């Protein structure tokens, strides 16, 4: 598989087979992704790999916090305070496509909640990844992390695996820090599910639209 094929085949996988991913495979993916570029080779990322009971416990604790009505306390703001166009329409279309694929009605609050809570369980993928950044690093480090995340996702596709990057797992960073013993020096940026995609599950059989090149590109010069 070439890079172009991996880019086109990558999608956010939200249903996984009950099949473990060997530690050596995860190690190999990270070993490839570590060659991603970063400013002055700073390599600002840190990764926590969660499997088994540890992965399950993180999800349980976050869901318990949600059920108790605790407020989110993320290390940074991911979404805008107010959605403006064209982002509002794209967000709405994305959500509707997900609900349609899952067969969840717009008024079915309980099933919507269950679908959302699946985020905190890494969609029951066998491997969960958490990504951290040193608080001392400025905003440029987030660009570096984004390149690193994409490198992981494309390498996973090449290995026949699926992923789903998840901002939701950064909503309660203190829970993850306490469970994993991570210093407050590090900001929890996001999580990622990793596993073998269930090819027959409806959640893996829809695609969101992408804008054509002409919509976001301005050409200058000859």
* CA distance linking residue 200 with residue 216, whole number of Å: 34
- Name the band, by pLDDT with cuts 50, 70 and 90, for residue 18: very high
Structure confidence at residue 181 (pLDDT): 97
Task: Pick the range with the lowest mean pLDDT from 19-23, 39-43, 77-81, 97-101.
Answer: 97-101
172 within domain boundaries: yes
Helix axes 140-158, 23-33, angle to 10 degrees: 130
106 within domain boundaries: no
109 within domain boundaries: no
Segment 37-52 shows an average pLDDT of: 97
89 within domain boundaries: no
pLDDT above 80: residue 65: yes
34 within domain boundaries: yes
- Name the band, by pLDDT with cuts 50, 70 and 90, for residue 136: very high
CA angle, 201 then 153 then 57, to 5°: 70
111 within domain boundaries: no
162 within domain boundaries: yes
167 within domain boundaries: yes
DSSP E strand boundaries for 23-83? 45-51
* CA distance linking residue 144 with residue 37, whole number of Å: 7
156-178 pLDDT, tens digit per residue, is: 999 999 999 999 999 999 999 99
* CA distance linking residue 36 with residue 2, whole number of Å: 17
pLDDT above 80: residue 137: yes
DSSP string, 90-127: HHHHHHHHHHHHHT--TT-HHHHHHHHHHHHTGGG-SE
- Name the band, by pLDDT with cuts 50, 70 and 90, for residue 108: confident
State pTM to two decimals.
Answer: 0.95
* CA distance linking residue 127 with residue 50, whole number of Å: 6
Domain range for residue 33? Answer: 3-77+120-208
Helix axes 87-102, 109-120, angle to 10 degrees: 100
Q: What residues have CB less than 8 Å from 97, skipping those under 6 apart? A: 206, 208
pLDDT above 90: residue 99: no
Segment 17-29 shows an average pLDDT of: 97
- How many structural domains comprise the chain? 1
What CATH number does the domain containing 199 carry? 3.40.109.10
Helix axes 173-180, 52-67, angle to 10 degrees: 140
* CA distance linking residue 176 with residue 4, whole number of Å: 35
């Amino acid at each position: 598989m070439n890079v172009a094929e991996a880019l086109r085949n990558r999608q956010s996988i939200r249903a996984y087979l009950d099949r473990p991913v060997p530690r050596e495979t995860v190690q190999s993916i990270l070993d490839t992704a570590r060659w991603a570029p970063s400013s002055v080779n700073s390599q600002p990322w840190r990764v926590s790999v969660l499997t088994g009971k540890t992965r399950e416990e993180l999800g349980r604790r976050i869901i318990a916090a949600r059920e108790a009505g605790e407020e989110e306390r993320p290390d940074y703001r991911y979404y805008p305070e107010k959605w403006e166009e064209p982002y509002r329409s794209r967000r709405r279309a994305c959500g509707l496509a997900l609900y349609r694929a899952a067969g969840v009605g717009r008024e079915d609050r309980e099933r919507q909640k269950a679908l959302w809570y699946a985020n905190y369980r890494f969609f029951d993928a066998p491997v969960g990844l958490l990504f951290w950044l040193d608080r001392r690093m400025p905003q440029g480090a987030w660009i570096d992390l984004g390149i690193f995340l994409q490198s992981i996702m494309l390498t996973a596709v090449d290995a026949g695996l699926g992923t789903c990057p998840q901002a939701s797992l950064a909503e309660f960073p203190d829970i993850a820090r306490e469970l994993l013993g991570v210093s407050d020096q590090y900001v929890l940026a996001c999580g990622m599910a990793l596993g073998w995609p269930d090819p027959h599950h409806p959640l893996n059989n829809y695609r969101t639209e992408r804008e054509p090149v002409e919509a976001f590109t301005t050409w200058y010069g000859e």
